[in-house]
Each structure stands twice: as C-alpha cells, then as structure tokens.
Amino acid sequence: MVGAGQLARMTHQAAVDLGMSLRLLAESPTDGAALVTPDVELGAPDDLAALTRFAKGCDVVTFDHEHVPTEHLRALEDSDVAVRPGADALLFAQDKLAQRRRLQELGIPVPVFAPVTSVADVARFGEEHGWPVVVKAVRGGYDGRGVWFYDEPPDSLPGPNVYVEAKVPLLHELAVQVARRPSGGTRAWPAVETVQQDGICVEVVAPAPRISPALSTDAERIALRVASELDVVGVLAVELFEAPGGLLVNELAMRPHNSGHWSIEGSVTSQFEQHLRAVLDWPLGDTSPLAPVTVMVNLLGGRDTDLTRTLPPALEAVPEAHVHLYGKEPRPARKLGHVTVLGDDVVEARERARTAVRVLRGDDE
Amino acid sequence: MVGAGQLARMTHQAAVDLGMSLRLLAESPTDGAALVTPDVELGAPDDLAALTRFAKGCDVVTFDHEHVPTEHLRALEDSDVAVRPGADALLFAQDKLAQRRRLQELGIPVPVFAPVTSVADVARFGEEHGWPVVVKAVRGGYDGRGVWFYDEPPDSLPGPNVYVEAKVPLLHELAVQVARRPSGGTRAWPAVETVQQDGICVEVVAPAPRISPALSTDAERIALRVASELDVVGVLAVELFEAPGGLLVNELAMRPHNSGHWSIEGSVTSQFEQHLRAVLDWPLGDTSPLAPVTVMVNLLGGRDTDLTRTLPPALEAVPEAHVHLYGKEPRPARKLGHVTVLGDDVVEARERARTAVRVLRGDDE
C-alpha cells in the first residue's frame, strides 16, 4: 500500500486477520501506519525510484491516497506491477474535471460545471447558472481544501488549475461504498448519511436514516455503475448530494474512505478487509449491517487535545464506544481518530459517540 | 507482552485501535505476532536478561502464555516493573496443584484431587473415588498435553510432577471470561460452551446455548470470585465442567484465551482490548454480545492444509465468515486460525463456520 496514514493503519489490522503481509511506502517512520507495521519502505509517492523499490515483491500495489502521479502509475504498470485500481481508473479520482466530464458522458448526474481559465469564465458561469458558485481545484483538494465559494465574480482565480460548478442546494449528503474485483464481482454497503463541517466529514450515520429505500437503491446503483464504467478495482466511495431534483455525484475515492469507517464494527465485512480482497481478486465479503444503526464520529484535534490523558475518561464515559486512534500528534482540527457506536436509535447512538469524542478532545475540561 | 503467538498477534490489532504501542518478547522473528508488529525483542521467556531488556521502557508487562518462571516474575517486580497479572496470581495459572488447593480453601468447587508421588498413590485414589482417574502435569500441560486417563492403576507415573483427580462425568464444558483492573473494577462476558476433541478446544458457542440463566450466573459469579480472591489483573478465563452435581472449575488462564476469541466480533469489547485496558488500569468496556449467537470454530491443520490456496474458496463459500489466520506454517492438528460467524440460530451459524473451516483445511479436496 502506497501511503501510511490511518487508512493504511486500519488496512494492516485487516491484513493481519487474513494472514497477509502488508508492505507500506511511508513518507516518514512516524506515519500512523508505519508505527504499527514492520514492513515499511521510506519514500515519497511521487518518487518513481522509491515506488519501484517498494513494489518489488508485492503481489498487488494499492493506495491509501491519490498522490501518485499518473505517469508513475503507468510506468509501474508497464513494468508488470499489478496496480489496483489501475492508472486509467485512478485518473478519475485524481482529476475532478476529467471525472465530471466522464460521468456526464455516461449520463450519471453531476452538478452543472465548466472549465475556467479566467475570472470572466467564472462570472459568465454565475450569470448563466446563478450565484453562489463553487470554484474547485482540479487536483489535490480534500477536507475542505481546494474549494472556494463565491457570491459574486471574484477578483482573481484562487489557483491555476480550477473549474467552476453550481452550488447545489442540498437536503442531505450521502455516500455509498462498493467493492469490485478485477474479474467483475461487486458488493455494495448500504448508503450512509455524512455530516460535514467546514468541508470536513464529522459524522456518518449508517444506514442513511432520512432517505427512502428507493433513493438508497438509486445511490447504490449509481456507485455500482461508476465502478464498472470506470473499471475501478477495490473499494470505491461515491459521495453524493441529495438535491431537490435527485442525486448528484460529488466526489469519488478509489480506496477505503472516511465514510466507510463505520463498517469496521457495523458491517459483517469492513471496507479495509474488502479492499484487500477486491484488489487480490478474492471473493468479496458480506456487507450487511450488524445493528439497526451505526454512528461514526470523527475525532478532530481540539485546542489542547492530549489523548494519553483523555482516553481513560472517554472509555469510562462510554463503555460501548469503539475508539480508533491514528497515532498522530494532536493538532487543532487534525483527524486524530474516530469513535463508532452501534445501537437501535440514531439520536441515542449519535449522542453516545459524540460524548466519547467530546471527552477525547478535552472539550469538557 | 511476553510471547508472540496468536494471542499477542490479536492483542496488537487491539492495541493499534487504542493508539498503544505493543512491544513483544518473541522467541523467533517468525512467531505469528512478530511477523506483524514492529517492536520485537528476541529472547526466551525463561531468560531473565532477555526479560529485563524487554521490560525496559514498558509501562506494563503482560503475557500471552504462562512460561515465565515465578522467580523471574518476582525479580521483575522487585525491580519495579509493573507485572500484570502479578507473580502471586500467575502462580495459580502455572501450578495446577497449587490452584486446586487454593480454590478448595476458598470453597470454590473443583474436582476431587490429591497430590501423588507414586503409583500407589494413584491406586489408592482410584479405589477411594472410583475409576477412571485423571493424572495431570502440575505445570506446563495444555491442548490435551499433560493429561492422562487411567481405568486402573498404571505401571508407572507418566511424569515426575503430577497429581491425580476424579474424572468428572460432565454434561457440558463451559468457560467464563472476566476482566479485572488493579483498582478493582470488573466486567464479565456471558458464559460460553466449549467443545473439546482430544483435549483441544475445537468450537465455542456464545452465549452457552444449553444451560439455564441461573447456571450462567453461577459460572460468572465463580469467575468473578476467583479473579478477586486470587488478585488477578487482566482477562481471566475460567474453564468449567457442568457435572450432575453442579459446576466445577477445571482450568484457569490469566490472559486472553481461545474460549474468548468469539468476542472480537461477537461482543462490544473484545477480550484483547479488554485485557489491555485492564492491565493499564483503564476503564473496562461493555461486554454485551452483538448477536443472539456467535460461533467460533478453530482451524486445526489438516493433512495438506495450504491456506494460500484454500482461503479464497473459503471466503467464497461463506461470505459472512470472519477468518483469522495466525501466520503459522501449517502442520497437522496445529492451531492455524479460527473462524467466527454471528447469527440467530446455533445450528445454522455452527454449520456456516464449520463449512469455512472445512474448506480452509482442504478437507473437501
């Protein structure tokens, strides 16, 4: 696995169960996954020599992020490394404008969008489709970075490689995860509701509690279609807007994703195990939920979060909490971990998970 | 953790969630846990220099087996290492005769037993209490080793350090696990039924399906009493016989135990996480079961078990199976892993878990 953040860390835990040996390409020996895994190669994901060294002896190469340049992915493929998902698929998780165009071609609903090269392009788009508009980085944005909202034409573009789209008046934000094997088998988890604050996912409720079964099926169908049309292998997370006119695809990630952390305890097969099974072209696992409701709340660093001090009282406050810490130095707003609670009632499970997170952050002190 | 077998391997997975860093004392770099953990010290558990080197810098030292000599445990304690459970408690998991005597003193029911130093002692015991009798090694027996059945006086004792006890005509074999903190807090999982073949645990059904709630409560009460009377810290597994006259304690283990593997998926808090929380004197987690029934079936090596070949078809056959492999070279009858299935019905869940194990062993080929 290229990358050694929390996704690789949790993938290692799943790999252990299946008797696999996960090798990591880590940027630093203190990366969350590098701290807990013995087979670590140090190197940057945009360094082809490091990638090649790392890939040697791997049955399959997969990813915990989208930072490997396309030309390096192709170079690995050309030297007969099994890169999964492949470069052609990953492009659509890396390049948002290419993704919007491709999905539009396929008739999969996306927000109205346009390429822009000047402020005038943004102004024209706003006049045609209405204000506010959203300008987005074509590559590299995440967790609220690379997204800018404008109520009127801006003085300048926020970056060199951006595009514009309509700001969708949304009812809910949803996500669906599916897994797909190279030989074609697929499995979908139920659609979940995601709650964002300042562009960062803060909570996930699974299954999505406030949408109809028909809409949930629609979301699943869209995700399965994206997976097969783009030839995605592994886990695909599709983030969707529920807008008044129906569902619109917002983002794609071709790897385990924050919206699927609930599946570790909440589903028979976790997204991490499923991703490994899928990229190895092994049979996929059962994706049924284990409880009527599973709530996952992200732990973002507070002003003085000190987990060595706050973990015991958090465990005391919520004995049924599943706490996952990522081994990172606390910093304000940094994703340090997450808490999952299973239950029968959304409001109650959410309150319990939020309580654990509040104590972990040190907000109550 | 002293020892690097499957218990340490699964403890590492739990430690990762809590942001802990687990150091192992492993006998070999190919021990199951050493394969998946970065912080490994090599050394034998009866080598005090290795133990001392290993313990340096650990907040707490705990165990995946009972092989550390009592005098070494005391030496560590004397040099201010936090050994949990402590030497005084561990003695009763290491020395079965001392354990039988102590439990008898406490009025906790055990099979009738006697120390023996000669064949005549065994003969006398058999005449007094009836044949058959069981002769057991005082130290070191497990998985059917160190246990001998006699229908009549033997020609010689099977070992130098043995005792004798009555062979109990049992209805079921049960196990209860409890966790206890140094400061006294305890939690119990529901009693489970264990199925043994040739002295090796092959299946566990949780909660125990064929006993009354009153008996289950009795079993729990016995385990909690043992934990507090013997000052056990960490997870304590108590194996019990359900005999016509009531419950009798068979074995004690003061660590995560095969009878508790079901708790990884089947309970809110797994025995591995709970053991870590307990030895650190942290608040203990919720031990509620997540499904009406959880069945765990051990994967013992077959004649030609080759898991790299059998794992994919096993996953295909039982998509809801939770497979745990221990990273060991297959050998006939060796514990290579286990499979857990959650369900509503004992017979069905057991059949599904057995199917996965049968395919993994290669029995169907």
Closest CB to B38 among A17, A36, A291 = A36
Alpha helices of A202-306 — where are they, by DSSP H? 213-229, 263-266, 271-279
Return the residue of B nearest to A319 by Cα: B285
From the list B53, B47, B49, B58, the residue with the least C-alpha distance to B81 is: B58
Contact at CB, A283 and B16, closer than 8 angstroms: no
Contact at CB, B311 and A18, closer than 8 angstroms: yes
How close, in Å, is residue A336 to chain B by CA atoms?
10
Residue A38 touches partner B, C-beta closer than 8 Å: yes
Instruction: Give the tens place of pLDDT for each residue, A236-268.
Output: 999 999 998 899 999 999 999 999 999 999 999
The CATH code of domain B112-166 reads 3.30.1490.20
Q: Are A350 and A205 in contact (CB under 8 A)?
A: yes
Contact at CB, B291 and A290, closer than 8 angstroms: yes
Q: Token pair for residue B141?
A: 């027996």
Q: How far apart are the first and last CA of chain A?
A: 39
Contact at CB, B9 and A16, closer than 8 angstroms: yes
Q: Where in chain B is the domain with CATH 3.40.50.20?
A: 6-83
Contact at CB, A35 and B17, closer than 8 angstroms: no
Whether the pLDDT of residue A118 is over 80: the answer is yes
Instruction: Give the tens place of pLDDT for each residue, B26-80.
Output: 999 999 999 999 999 999 999 999 999 999 999 999 999 999 999 999 999 999 9
Instruction: Give the tens place of pLDDT for each residue, B70-125.
Output: 999 999 999 999 999 999 999 999 999 999 999 999 999 999 999 999 999 999 99
Mutate to test the interface with A, among B17, B270, B355, B360 (most CBs of A within 10 A): B17
Closest CB to A290 among B19, B36, B290 = B290
How close, in Å, is residue A283 to chain B by CA atoms?
5
* Chain A environment of B313 (Cβ under 8 Å): 283
- Residue B162 CA, chain-centre distance (Å), reads 21
Contact at CB, B19 and A311, closer than 8 angstroms: yes
Residue A42 touches partner B, C-beta closer than 8 Å: no
The predicted pLDDT at position A37 comes to 98
The predicted pLDDT at position B218 comes to 96
Return the residue of B nearest to A23 by Cα: B36
CA atoms within 13 A on the CB side of B257: 27
Average pLDDT for B334-352: 97
Contact at CB, B342 and A290, closer than 8 angstroms: yes
Q: Where in chain A is the domain with CATH 3.30.470.20?
A: 172-361
How close, in Å, is residue B267 to chain A by CA atoms?
10
* Chain A environment of B315 (Cβ under 8 Å): 277, 282-283, 285
Closest CB to B319 among A17, A40, A285 = A285
Whether the pLDDT of residue B223 is over 70: the answer is yes
Residue B12 touches partner A, C-beta closer than 8 Å: yes
Q: Are A135 and A163 in contact (CB under 8 A)?
A: yes
> Rounded to an integer, what distance in angstroms lies between the CA atom of residue A23 and that of residue A55?
9
Tell me what percent of the residues of chain A surpass a pLDDT of 90: 93
Second CATH level (architecture) for the domain A172-361 = 2-Layer Sandwich (3.30)
Residue B307 touches partner A, C-beta closer than 8 Å: yes
Q: Token pair for residue B247?
A: 């419950």
> Rounded to an integer, what distance in angstroms lies between the CA atom of residue B19 and that of residue B1?
16
CA angle centred on A80, ends A78 and A83, rounded to 5° = 90
Burial of B301 (0-12, 13-18, 19+ CB in 10 A): buried
The predicted pLDDT at position A365 comes to 61
Tell me what percent of the residues of chain A surpass a pLDDT of 70: 98
Average pLDDT for A105-129: 97
Average pLDDT for B296-318: 96
Instruction: Give the tens place of pLDDT for each residue, A301-356.
Output: 999 899 999 999 999 999 999 999 999 999 999 999 999 999 999 999 999 999 99
Residue B195 touches partner A, C-beta closer than 8 Å: no
Average pLDDT for A219-235: 98
Sign of the alpha-carbon torsion through B286, B216, B275, A286: negative
One-letter amino acid of B128: E
* Phi, psi dihedral angles at B210 (to 5 degrees): -115, 20
Residue A342 touches partner B, C-beta closer than 8 Å: yes
Average pLDDT for A104-129: 97
Whether the pLDDT of residue B360 is over 80: the answer is yes
How close, in Å, is residue A315 to chain B by CA atoms?
6
Contact at CB, A19 and B315, closer than 8 angstroms: no
The CATH code of domain A6-83 reads 3.40.50.20
Residue A29 touches partner B, C-beta closer than 8 Å: no
Contact at CB, B342 and A268, closer than 8 angstroms: yes
Q: State ipTM.
A: 0.95
Sheet holding A162-166, edge to edge: A113-115, A162-166, A133-137, A147-150
Average pLDDT for A69-76: 97
Tell me what percent of the residues of chain B surpass a pLDDT of 70: 98
* Chain B environment of A342 (Cβ under 8 Å): 268, 290
Residue A59 touches partner B, C-beta closer than 8 Å: no
How close, in Å, is residue B329 to chain A by CA atoms?
11
Whether the pLDDT of residue A364 is over 70: the answer is no
From the list A164, A173, A166, the residue with the least C-alpha distance to A243 is: A173
> Rounded to an integer, what distance in angstroms lies between the CA atom of residue B94 and that of residue B138?
8
Residue B306 touches partner A, C-beta closer than 8 Å: no
Residue A170: pLDDT band by 50, 70, 90 thresholds?
confident
Buried b (16+ CB within 10 A) or exposed e, B220-257: bebbbbbbebbebbbbbbbbbbbbeeebbbbbbbbbbb
Closest CB to B13 among A13, A291, A313 = A13
